[in-house]
Structure 1
Amino acid sequence: MNKTLIALAVSAAALATGANASEIYNQDGNSIAMGGRAEARLSLKDGKAEDKTRVRLNFLGKAQITDGLYGVGFYEGEFNTNDDGRATDTDANDLTNRYAYAGLGGAFGEITYGKNDGALGVITDFTDIMAYHGNSAAYKIAVADRSDNMISYKGQFADLGVKASYRFADRLEAANGDLSDNDADGYSLSAIYALGESGVKLGAGYADGNQAFESVKDSGNYDVLLDRSQYMLAASYTINDFYFAGTFVDGQDKDKANGEKIDNTGYEFAAAYTYNQAVFTTTYNYLEAKDKTSGQKADAVDNIAIDATYYFKPNFRGYVSYNFNLLSADDKNVDGHKIGKADSEDELALGLRYDF
């Protein structure tokens, strides 16, 4: 049981379809599997409660074209149930289309197009192991995260896993019929190598692309286009019922309008221990931002998180997770504004999760 649980404790490194997907159709080389989760989550900050309950549902279809070639299609949606005190079943309940892609696969790997993961998610998965908190420092830029209009490749060759993705800029059509794009393109690359049966894995990745952010000034809302790049290094070690990992990230955001640059440097450390049907995890997350023009530095992320998860069954668990926020309300971010109370509070989360 312990080896199964330690694998579940780091389940973020698994495929998006999940370990509990059930096959609902299989005939003539075509199969459909359904999976997902129902997760009741209560968040408490400064004694104030917020409902974070969610449901995910996904479908994976495969068609065997030849002995060495198959077609694949995948969709996953997430529903949030929080009504915020309004009438039941209002439009506050949002559906997020997390994944929607199709492609071809075989011994060469798998190539897909649509909304899919970029290449750096498998690197942040080294330390993104907690039931609720954690993974707040090893950020991913948009083209390296889950994104639409993306062509992706992944392949596993013995102990080496590789991923690559390219996001196209989105077409814009002017009133006069001219065509242009929003310049929001970019790419990401990563590789993970397992050192045989030693329990050691090493990972590295790089991403570069443009990303638009909505900003607000006295004149109103406007978009800021940033040229963003980053690289990540990660390592993990598994021995018996223990898991240890670390991730380092370094990146730069450059405002394409005025040339202002912000450097972001951070790291995460994670550990997990399995005891019978319980898994105990902890992470430390730190991210520093530095304005290259003014030289101003600020802590963007600084926290320690702990949680305990009990697996009643491999597909049903309960957990308690606590985040010790080491930032203070009076601390200033890199642009000189105070962080404020809401972003400096500790958080307690309680949850029950059923995977299907």
Structure 2
Amino acid sequence: MKTTTLALMVMGIVASATSQAAEIYNKDGNKLNLYGKVKAMHYISDDSSKDGDQTYVRFGFKGETQINDQLTGYGQWEAEFSGNKDESNSTTKTRYAFAGIKYANFGSFDYGRSLGALYDVEAWTDMFPEFGGESSARTDNFMTKRASGLATFRSTDFFGVVDGLNLTLQYQGKNESRDVSKQNGDGFGTALNYDFGGSDFQVGGAYTTSDRTDAQQLQARGEGDKADAWAAGVKYDANNVYIASMYSETRNMTPISGGFANKTQSFEAVVQYQFNFGLRPSLAYVQQKGKEIEGVGDADLMKYIDVGATYYFNKNMSAFVDYKINQLDSDNPLGINNDDIVALGMVYQF
């Protein structure tokens, strides 16, 4: 099928949230781009903690400076501002804040608040219009998604030697002055993905291991002084078709009622098609099972079918609907809410 200009733009939007960044400065080897989006969104659900307005704004910048012909410095900051609260209770949170250097084709090194190594694979299924990418990938949960204190080395094309082979090496420093579910000890992570020299098919794997804090080890659920995780995934992205799946396991890492699951097994899969006139339907499945939970045994922590669609009016404006069809039993032993959720919204981004 012949790909239209609109379809190409849409795929670019999907591939990178900052692809439409506005360049505000570019002179003498220094660049500064601004990007952001307004997501006007409403949830419909019998779950009162989710039902209602979910509007927010995200805003950030990406900067770059050419130090010499081989060395480049860079930095990124992004924040989110709530739009669903009264002005006296509005909240702001920092999503990204890191700086680093890149040396020619050898690789890049940065430090700060960024993405954990496990998310190199988990990101492939985090493509739903609103939900998804939430089983083993959790914010401030060791190195599974966005996290603080990350020192990250990334090399594309494996130091410029193997086309399509990308390597991540990562270290996370201890974070204890926070809620116990979001603490972590010192840890290390790595990821490797390969697209077979530029093909439309990609495979990847990731592994992380971290010390658990004293407070985490004192919880009623979750044993062991280490928190470990691994993930493997596949992705196909071509001819207006996007297909991806991911399987992961965690040990003493995933927060649950009363502490942490001794073990989890997670599976996510998504398939999408980009029509040339702007419509992108999505069908997906997510399941996470907790294993050997104290006082429970094995139990589903997350299980749902996701049906959604996004319509792109142009590169800056879109509308979406996403229906999370919960498959958890109403009498699940951990008391996890099993209500469906429908998300409706419009997005403006630049």
Fold agreement, TM-score > 0.5: yes
Deviation at 1:55, TM superposition (A): 0.7
Q: Residue deviations 1:66-102, cap 9 Å, x none?
A: 011011121111111222xxxx411x21111111111
Distance 1:69 1:128 in 2: 32
Correspondence for 1:346: 340
Pick from 94, 99, 102 the counterpart of residue 102 of structure 1: 99
**What one-letter code is carried by the residue in structure 1 that aligns with 2:10?**
L
CA contact (8 A) 1:209 1:227 kept: yes
> Matched residues, percent identical?
26
Mapping 1:1-356, distance limit 5 Å: 1-9=6-14, 11=15, 14=16, 18-46=18-46, 49-83=51-85, 88-90=86-88, 92-107=89-104, 108-140=106-138, 141-157=141-157, 158-170=163-175, 184-211=185-212, 227-253=226-252, 262-276=262-276, 277-291=278-292, 296-333=297-334, 338-339=335-336, 343-356=337-350
**What one-letter code is carried by the residue in structure 2 that aligns with 1:109?**
G
**Greater strand content:** 1
Deviation at 1:239, TM superposition (A): 3.8
Deviates more, 1:196-205 or 1:133-142: 133-142
CA contact (8 A) 1:6 1:279 kept: no
Distance 1:124 1:71 in 2: 27
RMSD between superposed Cα atoms in Å: 2.9
Q: Residue deviations 1:238-294, cap 9 Å, x none?
A: 341221111000121179xxx997110111111001112110111100111111666
Deviation at 1:213, TM superposition (A): 10
How many residues get paired?
323
SS of residue matched to 2:185: coil
**What one-letter code is carried by the residue in structure 2 that aligns with 1:50?**
G
CA contact (8 A) 1:278 1:311 kept: yes
Moved >3 Å (runs of 4+):
6-9, 210-215, 223-226, 292-295
Change (3 A) 1:226 1:35: farther
Correspondence for 1:175: none
Change (3 A) 1:82 1:105: same
Distance 2:260 2:42 in 1: 40
Change (3 A) 1:279 1:238: same
Taking structure 2 as the reference length, what is the TM-score of the superposition?
0.84
SS of residue matched to 1:125: helix
Deviation at 1:151, TM superposition (A): 0.8
CA contact (8 A) 2:31 2:64 kept: yes
**What one-letter code is carried by the residue in structure 2 that aligns with 1:348?**
V
Correspondence for 2:3: none
SS of residue matched to 1:123: helix
Distance 2:145 2:253 in 1: 19
CA contact (8 A) 2:273 2:280 kept: yes
Distance 2:298 2:123 in 1: 27
CA contact (8 A) 2:136 2:144 kept: no
CA contact (8 A) 1:98 1:115 kept: yes
Distance 1:27 1:58 in 2: 20
Distance 1:317 1:199 in 2: 26
Taking structure 1 as the reference length, what is the TM-score of the superposition?
0.83
Deviation at 1:143, TM superposition (A): 2.5
Deviation at 1:203, TM superposition (A): 0.8
SS of residue matched to 1:313: coil
Unaligned runs of 5+ in 1: 173-181
CA contact (8 A) 1:38 1:55 kept: yes
Deviation at 1:309, TM superposition (A): 0.4
Deviation at 1:323, TM superposition (A): 0.4
**What one-letter code is carried by the residue in structure 1 that aligns with 2:20?**
N
Distance 1:171 1:280 in 2: 42
